[in-house]
A and B are shown apart, each in its own frame.
Chain A
Amino acid sequence: DQQVKQNSPSLSVQEGRISILNCDYTNSMFDYFLWYKKYPAEGPTFLISISSIKDKNEDGRFTVFLNKSAKHLSLHIVPSQPGDSAVYFCAASVYGGSQGNLIFGKGTKLSVKP
């Protein structure tokens, strides 16, 4: 049973607009969440993270929002750029838990059109 779910396999957005990628989780023990970005033929690269003591973390054009009561997080990219086109993975872990094991979602493929 999937503990981390990304229900949208793909998302298409116009350049300059906002991209919103969503992630849901089922395990209430998760208290640390990460977003990774993956280009074809490359490994995932870390993008941004958030711990459960916060509800928002911002880094430049990227903001992650966490709603613990809904067990939901989202990644906002504003403004979206063609170079943001990639697969985005949501991952969760128990901070301080078993050597940092991450549970990944299946990913959402973002296409940003010029």
Chain B
Amino acid sequence: DAMVIQNPRYQVTQFGKPVTLSCSQTLNHNVMYWYQQKSSQAPKLLFHYYDKDFNNEADTPDNFQSRRPNTSFCFLDIRSPGLGDAAMYLCATSGHLRDRLDHEQFFGPGTRLTVL
């Protein structure tokens, strides 16, 4: 089955220690997104890649970076995690429906990040 996979599902890191979350997709979608979701809050878009083009949201802290080495993989790097970065991180993808971008996004199961 085509899907979006996130590893690990649970990640524990220490305050200030860099951490990388990974996402892979078998849907061959052009666009990959990273969202941050804190408890009882809406998922908040951090950034997305359209193919190799990186699009950062204006209010995403510099502490958050991303890499997309190929169509299938996308990484979220948190350079110096703070306690406030503890959250669920969701990866999503979307492709094209006919000649227009399909706004339906397919989500992975998420990685829950704990910062000690």
Contact = CB atoms under 8 A, between A and B. Distances in A.
Interface string B32-74: 0000000011111100101000010000000000000000000
Contact-residue bracket for chain B: 20 to 34
A49 B40 contact: no
Contact of A46 (B41, B42, B104, B110): B104
Nearest to A3: B42
Contact of B103 (A2, A4, A49): A49
Interface string A31-57: 010101000011111100100000000
Contacts, number: 63
Contact of B43 (A89, A95, A100): A89
Given A43-B4, A99-B55, A104 B50 contact: no
B50 A43 contact: no
B105 A100 contact: yes
Nearest to B94: A100
Interface of B: 4, 6, 9, 31, 40-45, 48, 50, 55, 90, 92, 94, 100-110
